[in-house]
A and B are shown apart, each in its own frame.
Chain A
């Protein structure tokens, strides 16, 4: 972690300790949430999108300003069938540009802008073959996080222990080879299908929700957080998405840094209001997750809900 980031974390931690949680609503004015509004919005998300649920997390990490059984929200086993990088190429190949906010392009909503210098793809129109090859390479070249060679060479090779004696099971009723495969019987899919646990915590300092990602490979083994960045829109990887300690769970997890969340949400709320839609605070997380989808476009978590987004659309 960069030093400036460290210093900021220390500062943020101190501020969080000495200031009380927000109690007055500033949702329309600043795009932020008070603790009780976070609970209201979370309850609504859980009831409309039942794949989400509240959890209490590690008892030692519980935040006293949140109810014990509503510490954070989580949806588990969310499929991610393709890497974000390859999706972006496809958009670009199709000449697509998705800009939700043109006038003030601050890098948050402009998720699939012009391609940056990509010397590895000769033209703007990559053929299907080059796409395929790239995908395979990205996925296959990754050293496996666990059991990876690194400095673990004294872990005995499990193959030595392959048990002929102990676990002989011949059973006609067991379906052989059930990988987590996407529908087409295509070898590639085995490599590409990842799943995610997506969690939302309340960030007391920024007074906004914060999204965390825990990735798993096709055999449901934990992915190194750095590999999670492959599923983040490349404009955001390493910049707005950072790897930090989860406030309620052990280990390092990738997270969409919340420093701009309030401003972006304020902008979304302003757009809604200019269209004559009165935003309600219990819909905050739906709007929030909609915008987070621009950062993690291929992770298919659930935030669908019928919105009245006003008449015009960009």
Chain B
């Protein structure tokens, strides 16, 4: 198991979306009371957290709070509530169309490319190092049929594709990669990172291990300090995925950042996962990937190819949810009678 997949292409488990009923309720109310037929894109926030159970992955979740407030007095309040450890906030954009036809007519490739370009620019401007959540920027297109209370939607999690793909040298449970002493220190430091309100929702970080087997966790911007004191340096991220031999989606743009900004060819990464809210190193993975920096990446000119439209049960189709049961006034009246 330890060396499984070595030398093969590093494959990432796609992000999965999950939309809370409250999101659609607020979108409907905004559409009716505020936006009207204005279909300009709306900045929204998604939330995610590291995998916290050995058998299920975490999702990029949209809640009512993902949208701006729909009440008028509330408009003075900040639209987005700061995340907590179970809700790391990720910026996204919503294109809500007025008709089914315009929903289908959206230029999906173009929209995905536009979001990928923002990520690409944030990587090169250094914004992604300061505010790493922008690496997981996402896109949502929707058509809200308010007459039937049905919502058609499709998520994309843009990932900059390395060409050629990164190959895997080694991937194993973190508990097997670290020595016992190191593992203990890594767990303790990660738990502390997750418990502090300052860092709990910072999904990308650096783990370095000194010669005394003690781990230190730092922000991405402190890479130089890590390289000085660390014998072992790992690029770590909150991994929403639970699979034992695949890292989750956020690692893709993280690798793009690492190879284009720091010009590394071999990258050791830590897929940080939890069990019941605490660091679990047998569930977490440590891997080593080889990257060939693609042509033109250092010049930052052309935006790399991007992928990331979410599949619906394996098919390239949008999802649909009907909320007539909780939105249709006639049905509500009947059930209330």
With a cutoff of 8 Å between Cβ atoms, the chain B residues found around residue A6 in the complex are 336
- Asked whether any CB of chain A lies closer than 8 Å to the CB of B11, the reply is yes
What's the least CB distance linking A125 to chain B, in Å?
28
What's the least CB distance linking B28 to chain A, in Å?
10
Asked if residues A175 and B21 are in contact (CB atoms below 8 Å), the reply is no
Asked if residues A158 and B316 are in contact (CB atoms below 8 Å), the reply is no
Asked if residues B322 and A155 are in contact (CB atoms below 8 Å), the reply is yes
Asked if residues A173 and B55 are in contact (CB atoms below 8 Å), the reply is no
Which of B16, B148, B276, B326 has a CB less than 8 Å from the CB of A51?
B276
What's the least CB distance linking A226 to chain B, in Å?
10
Asked if residues A1 and B86 are in contact (CB atoms below 8 Å), the reply is no
A159 to B324, CA, bound (A): 22
What's the least CB distance linking A244 to chain B, in Å?
11
A167 and B309 in contact, given A152-B150, A172-B165, A174-B14 (Cβ under 8 angstroms): yes
- Asked whether any CB of chain B lies closer than 8 Å to the CB of A314, the reply is no
Asked if residues A1 and B18 are in contact (CB atoms below 8 Å), the reply is no
Asked if residues A58 and B64 are in contact (CB atoms below 8 Å), the reply is yes
Asked if residues B320 and A146 are in contact (CB atoms below 8 Å), the reply is yes
Main secondary structure of the interface of B (DSSP, over half): mixed
The residue of chain A having its C-beta at the shortest distance from the C-beta of B278 within the complex is A50
Asked if residues B16 and A180 are in contact (CB atoms below 8 Å), the reply is yes
Asked if residues A222 and B21 are in contact (CB atoms below 8 Å), the reply is yes
With a cutoff of 8 Å between Cβ atoms, the chain A residues found around residue B54 in the complex are 183
- Asked whether any CB of chain A lies closer than 8 Å to the CB of B22, the reply is yes
- Asked whether any CB of chain A lies closer than 8 Å to the CB of B277, the reply is yes
Interface segment out of the listed B32-40, B101-109, B129-137, B226-234? B101-109
- Asked whether any CB of chain A lies closer than 8 Å to the CB of B52, the reply is yes
A20 to B275, CA, bound (A): 40
With a cutoff of 8 Å between Cβ atoms, the chain A residues found around residue B225 in the complex are none
- Asked whether any CB of chain B lies closer than 8 Å to the CB of A104, the reply is no
Known: A178-B241, A252-B325, A304-B276. 8 other contacts (CB 8 A): A58-B22, A146-B321, A163-B108, A164-B316, A169-B309, A173-B252, A175-B246, A182-B55
What's the least CB distance linking B329 to chain A, in Å?
14
What's the least CB distance linking B191 to chain A, in Å?
9
- Asked whether any CB of chain B lies closer than 8 Å to the CB of A249, the reply is yes
With a cutoff of 8 Å between Cβ atoms, the chain B residues found around residue A53 in the complex are 84-87
A147 to B321, CA, bound (A): 6
Q: Could you list 26 examples of A-B contacts with CB < 8 Å?
A: A53-B86, A59-B71, A60-B71, A76-B86, A81-B55, A147-B322, A152-B148, A152-B322, A158-B152, A158-B312, A158-B317, A158-B318, A162-B315, A166-B108, A166-B109, A167-B316, A172-B9, A173-B11, A173-B166, A178-B246, A222-B21, A249-B21, A250-B326, A300-B53, A302-B277, A304-B276
Interface residues of B in 43-89 (CB under 8 A from A): 52-59, 61, 64, 69, 71, 74, 81, 84-87
A145 to B53, CA, bound (A): 26
A249 to B17, CA, bound (A): 20
The residue of chain A having its C-beta at the shortest distance from the C-beta of B107 within the complex is A166
- Asked whether any CB of chain B lies closer than 8 Å to the CB of A17, the reply is no
Interface segment out of the listed A213-221, A230-238, A259-267, A279-287? A213-221
- Asked whether any CB of chain B lies closer than 8 Å to the CB of A40, the reply is no
A114 to B127, CA, bound (A): 63
A220 and B18 in contact, given A77-B59, A161-B104, A178-B243 (Cβ under 8 angstroms): yes
A56 to B77, CA, bound (A): 14
- Asked whether any CB of chain B lies closer than 8 Å to the CB of A242, the reply is no
With a cutoff of 8 Å between Cβ atoms, the chain B residues found around residue A60 in the complex are 71
Asked if residues B74 and A59 are in contact (CB atoms below 8 Å), the reply is yes
With a cutoff of 8 Å between Cβ atoms, the chain A residues found around residue B315 in the complex are 159, 162
- Asked whether any CB of chain A lies closer than 8 Å to the CB of B195, the reply is yes
